[in-house]
Amino acid sequence: MAALLSPSSASAACPPRFASAPNSLRARFHTTRRFHGGFGVGFGSGPRPRRLVVSNVAAPLAQSTEQVAAKETQRPVYPFSAIVGQDEMKLCLLLNVIDPKIGGVMIMGDRGTGKSTAVRSLIDLLPEIRVVAGDPFNSDPEDPESLSADARARLANGEELPVATTRVVMVDLPLGATEDRVCGTIDIEKALTDGVKAFEPGLLAKANRGILYVDEVNLLDDHLVDVLLDSAASGWNTVEREGISISHPARFILIGSGNPEEGELRPQLLDRFGMHAQVVTVRDAELRVKIVEERARFDKDPKGFRGSYQAEQEKLQNQIASARSNLGAVQIDHDLRVKISKVCSELNVDGLRGDIVTNRAAKALAALKGRDKVTAEDIATVIPNCLRHRLRKDPLESIDSGLLVVEKFYEVFS
């Protein structure tokens, strides 16, 4: 979420060495304490009190004509409903969209099997959410505990928070990203030239209440893995730089993909993924031909290809929206909960995250199917994806294919 200065925010005063610079450059050096995309905290001489200002265009009340035109000309995305096969991966992605509290999905498989294509195709299916208008973190106006510091302060002062509707965002985390780009950073240039400590939110701020996608996650640097672990565990990101500490909500669906031949994930990060999907290369010749032909059609005429799947996309969108609205009404019998925990216990799964995720995923699947009660069949469908990546005790071992989980499930559920 790039922080941009509005033309009106630039001050007429600037350091002498920039007096002859072009207007576009001079606008970067201003003396005001308000700027788009972050925090401004004054610290100049004298008894002036520190103050915190948040301003952002993350949740506009209305889209301009230019924004709509830009959206129409951006790179087209392959339709989710056009993906052939890979049902396990697609189901895990849909369940996480229905219930973000499942905790994300790790997709591992051979190269060239459509992992990143499937993840990025979710962008057309993501629902709209209510956010605090202008808040850089897309805070939920209906959840006071997850509001940003600025929104919480405005609420405490008796202000009515403006509400806008925006689509859930998907943020890509590049492998080469720096820690400051991911967490946010203090703009030292503004501190030296303007007397303002300016916090510029990073990718974690943009991904709040959205999706954070890491391609080739098993190649991610250790220091970025530590950042993701901290944020995924607490749901908050804390940045401490230059004597100032700022925390903001960072609750996101973590989706990762990778090739197991290039290395395995650290067990701590692997456990943070709610579900695990394995993708294999299609061996059926007829199916391979169909995939190649569909891809060729998309490359030749992306707009026409997307139009041919418009009805299926809209049907899937409505199905997801209905499942999200009915999720709270889905019930799971106590007897089924006990059997889920018994499976986890007998498989020697560490902690209780496996139990929690299996319950959530089964309820999301029941909601997707339009039912208000979980069945044993729902549990049988999701439990391998929820548990198999939690069975590995030795980092040198490979992740189980799910056969152990399936065998134990039928043993317990009879």
Tokens at 4, concatenated: 């941009």
Helical H runs in 74-148?
A: 87-98, 115-120
SS3 327: helix
Q: Look up tokens 């891809």; give the residue.
A: 295
- Choice among 251, 353, 360, 390 that is catalytic: 353
Tokens at 158, concatenated: 């008796």
Tokens at 354, concatenated: 């496996």
Rounded distance between C-alpha atoms, residue 298 and residue 49, angstroms: 58
> CB of 383 within 8 A of CB of 409?
yes
Rounded distance between C-alpha atoms, residue 191 and residue 12, angstroms: 18
DSSP one-letter string for 213-236 = EEETGGG--HHHHHHHHHHHHHSE
> CB of 172 within 8 A of CB of 180?
no
List the beta bridge partners of residue 240.
245
Diameter over CA atoms, the chain: 81
> CB of 18 within 8 A of CB of 25?
yes
Rounded distance between C-alpha atoms, residue 150 and residue 53, angstroms: 7
Q: For residue 353, indicate whether it is catalytic.
A: yes
Rounded distance between C-alpha atoms, residue 56 and residue 374, angstroms: 42
Residues marked active site are found at 353
